Amino acid sequence: MAEPQVAYAQDEYGNPFIVVREQGKKTRAQGTQAIKDHIQAARTVSNILRTSLGPRGLDKILISPDGDIQVTNDGATIMSNMELEHQIAKLLVQLSKSQDDEIGDGTTGVVVLAGALLEQSEALIDRGIHPIRIADGFERACDIAVAALEKVADVVEFDREHIEELLKVAKTSLGSKIVSKASDKFARIATDAVLSVADLERKDVDFDLIKVDGKVGGSLEDSALVQGVVIDKDFSHPQMPREIHDARIAILTCPLEPPRPKTKHKLDITSVEEYKRLEEYERSTFESMIQKIKDCGANLVVCQWGFDDEANHLLLLHALPAVRWVGGPELELIAIATNGRIVPRFEDLSADKLGRAGVVREVSFGTTRDRMLVIEECANSRAVTAFLRGSNKMIIDEAKRALHDAMCVVRSLVKDNRVVYGGGAAEVCASIAVSQCADEIATIEQYAMRAFASALDAIPLALAENSGLAPIENLAMVKSRQVNEKDARYGIDCMATGNNNMKECRVFDPLVSKRQQLLLAAQLVRAVLKIDDVIEQHALEAEM
């Protein structure tokens, strides 16, 4: 009797397709158990960042697959570099990135707050409260917390001449960074950089006009803000002048070399005369290009491409200084700063497309005498470069992240000049307001609102714990002082100054940053509580 034929799909080698290799091992978590699994994953990530919160927060070492290390306590950097597999953990990465893109500061706090909210949610789910009712209560509490912060916020008055208050807020954001020893210097750089490019009438800051560059060598105190552009290049010939005044810059994206056929070609030279003709052709082509540059009035060439020794020699003979191998982003920044146009062909060169700067000079830095070009007194005076120094690459990278956070804080104050007080004072104030309102709510959301108030306490608790203080004792003391004195300025004394008044300690946070933290954390918690099933496509196929 013939065996029955079994039809199955085969690949080109005759092997059967395997739809799901581990189909017997696949399981699906659904309902309450799925939500609890998601909360546990989020809490794990949140607990990693919890110890990095505040001025006494600890740093993390991030080791990449190829062995590079980063030492940082910047929440956004830690989150973006962690290799996370769980879907909800990846949502927390997106949460941190949203805070970083929108505000630039508070990336650690928003993840810690979201983790605390999810931890409170788990207890409420165990009591039988539906996840959607919990999310509704959290959002209601979030609105109350934001309203409470807006009520106690102080207005920071500033203009371009009076920036003392901006410096205080920028210095607060640098308190927890590696560069805190040079926080005065970096706060000044960040404030001056933002105000240089800010439109105070429109309350707009164009970060594209701020370039942050770093060079190993020297100390953090050697960092400076250059009113212009710094590029990590030098003049192409050592005998070219080191300083050019009243520079008229030709910005080229076309190479200084003879044109070549676009097809594959072969050039056979069989005699000395042919070689000389070729040499003469190249020389005349170079001289024609240089003459076109000179005719339009340029006295400096900045080229995206390289050029050989012959072209370099001819540029020197014609007294035309040049810079080669300038990258695309730097080329665009030079064009913006000097009000020049990037020219793709020599035929398009004209006097109105030249960039203009008061002085272009080559300067050397550090013990290695590294040379860089500084373009100052640009036609567009708003373009600036923050030039950072440090003893090694790790310090430079962390200084760049710290400066970015400080600049984002100043930008937030340009957009909305209201501040609340740091050190957990804002969270305690919001927690007290939410707890008081929860007592007036008759529906089941009151439990979620009290849980929200408890989650807000996680920030001051973490600050006290990271500073080596007694967490519960300090939180109770701060809460009682805020309630009894009706003053929202009391927070955790992380730096052990003996004063819990955050206004006197000059610890400030932009209101927009705190508001964004609360809103984003509440939105993420709602998203997590609504996910009761994660369906992997191959697991679904196995069940079918």
Catalytic positions, written as ranges? 74, 107-108, 405
| 170 CB-near residues (< 8 Å, 6+ apart) | 186, 187, 190, 191, 406, 409, 410
Q: Any idea which residue has 């190829």 for tokens?
A: 66
| Burial (0-12, 13-18, 19+ Cβ within 10 Å), 14 | exposed
H helix count then E strand count, the chain: 17, 17
| 58 CB-near residues (< 8 Å, 6+ apart) | 51, 52, 73, 466
CA atoms within a 13 Å half-sphere pointing along the CA-CB vector of 31: 3
Give the span between the Cα atoms of 338 and 327, in whole angstroms.
16
Structure tokens at 61: 């070492």
CA dihedral angle for residue 217, residue 223, residue 228, residue 231, rounded to 10 degrees = 20
Give the span between the Cα atoms of 457 and 468, in whole angstroms.
17
In SS3 terms, 299-368 reads as CEEEECCCCCHHHHHHHHHCCCCEECCCCHHHHHHHHHHHCCCEECCHHHCCHHHCEEEEEEEEEEECCC
Name which of 3, 8, 58, 28 is nearest 176 in CA terms: 58
Amino acid at 297: G
Q: Judge whether 75 and 54 are in contact, CB under 8 Å.
A: no
- Three-point CA angle 117, 119, 121, nearest 5°: 70
CA dihedral angle for residue 252, residue 255, residue 257, residue 262, rounded to 10 degrees = -130
For the chain, the first-to-last Cα distance in angstroms comes to 33
Q: Judge whether 75 and 97 are in contact, CB under 8 Å.
A: no
| Burial (0-12, 13-18, 19+ Cβ within 10 Å), 116 | buried
